[in-house]
Amino acid sequence: MATVAKDESKRKNKDKNDEAPEKPKETTVEFLASLAAVLVTGLFIITFVVQAFEIPSSSMEDTLLIGDHVFVNRVQFAPKTSWVGPLVPYRDIHRGDIVVFLHPDAAYLGTYVVKRIIGIPGDRIHLRDGVVYRNGQKLDEPYIDHDRDDPSDSYRNNFPAVPPQPGDPNISPSWAAELPLHIQGDDLVVPAGHYFAMGDHRGVSLDSRYWGFIPKENVIGRPMFIYWSFETPADQYTRTSIGDRLGFLAHVVLHFFDETRWRRTLKVVR
């Protein structure tokens, strides 16, 4: 019996020694340091990698609707850097890319715009009866929404053959003066370091026909996917007062579930 008791005592002592040491509790300083690291990482991603952007107008329907919220890839079209070059899928802007950019007209300084790239440097562009021709070839554009086409709008539909009308409020005065410098024959020629862009909702879009080329340095990035879409009035972006914003915020809270376009969630932008 003494031997059994002795063995039992040894077993208990062994079990105590085998128990893992208790993990020290995280201090307040360590918790704050961890939180700061997470916030800094998130801020870096939001600032330099992706950016949230809301579609304010109907110029890209039906590809992008008013009230679509998208994440924009800020890195893909950025200038290449040697230290992360192999890790990042940099590429040039291609014809057909949808891009977010800063408005090139000084009158809209700081305004973000989204359009589709139709012409890259060296391309020759013209429209005939609303149809786009690039380098002499008629474009097949299945993404276009034609519901607001107006055959009587000669400048919009026969660009650049029909000159801008003096006093047209939609045409940038600086572009009206610059436009003739880029016309060769029947075509508008896209200069180096610039792009020609148009909206998919062709009949209502105010685009490069109205304010000119997009400088490469104005391009912010490419919309990747829709992370949320909410039914939004067409003129909501013009309602900038605090009362209007708070009123719409309250509307979103009350109608989040029934006016969110759930079918568009995580839809890839093409």
DSSP class of 24: P
In sequence order, what are the residues at sequence separation of 6 or more whose Cβ sits closer than 8 angstroms to the Cβ of residue 159? 126, 127, 188, 209
pLDDT of 50: 80
> In whole numbers, what is the pLDDT of the chain averaged over residues?
86
pLDDT of 224 strictly over 70:
yes
pLDDT at position 35 over 70: no
What is the pLDDT at residue 77? 82
Q: What share of the chain is helix, strand, coil (3-state, %, to 5)?
A: 35, 25, 45
Look at strands 98-102 and 183-184 and give their pairing.
unpaired
Q: Please, are residues 57 and 66 in contact by the beta-carbon 8 Å criterion? A: yes
Q: Which pLDDT score is estimated for 4?
A: 47
Question: What local confidence, expressed as pLDDT, does residue 90 receive?
Answer: 72
Domains in the chain, please, with CATH?
Answer: 51-264 (2.10.109.10)
Burial annotation 42-62 (CB, 10 A radius, 16+ → b, else e): eeeeeeeebbebbbbbbbbbe
Distance CA 111, CA 114 (A): 10
Structure tokens that stand for 40 in this block: 């800094």
pLDDT (tens digit, 9 = 90+) per residue, 147-201?
Answer: 999 999 999 999 999 999 888 999 999 999 999 999 999 999 999 999 999 999 9
CA distance 229 to 262: 7
What confidence tier does 223 reach under pLDDT thresholds 50, 70, 90? very high
pTM of the entire structure? 0.81
Instruction: Show the tokens assigned to 180.
Output: 């003739």
**Low-confidence winner among 25-34, 71-80, 221-230 (lowest mean pLDDT):** 25-34
Select the more confidently predicted residue: 68 or 165. Answer: 68
Determine whether 167 is exposed, middle or buried from the number of CB atoms within 10 Å of its CB (0-12, 13-18, 19+): exposed
Q: What is the pLDDT of residues 44-57, one digit of tens each?
A: 445 556 889 999 99
Residue predicted with more confidence, 142 or 5: 142
For residue 140, is pLDDT > 80?
yes
Nearest to 158 by CA among 192, 133, 126, 120: 126
Among 129, 139, 143, 134, CA closest to 190: 134
CA dihedral sign, ordered 128, 134, 137, 139: negative
* Per-residue model confidence as pLDDT tens digits over 81-136: 655 555 566 789 999 999 999 999 999 999 999 999 999 999 999 999 999 999 99
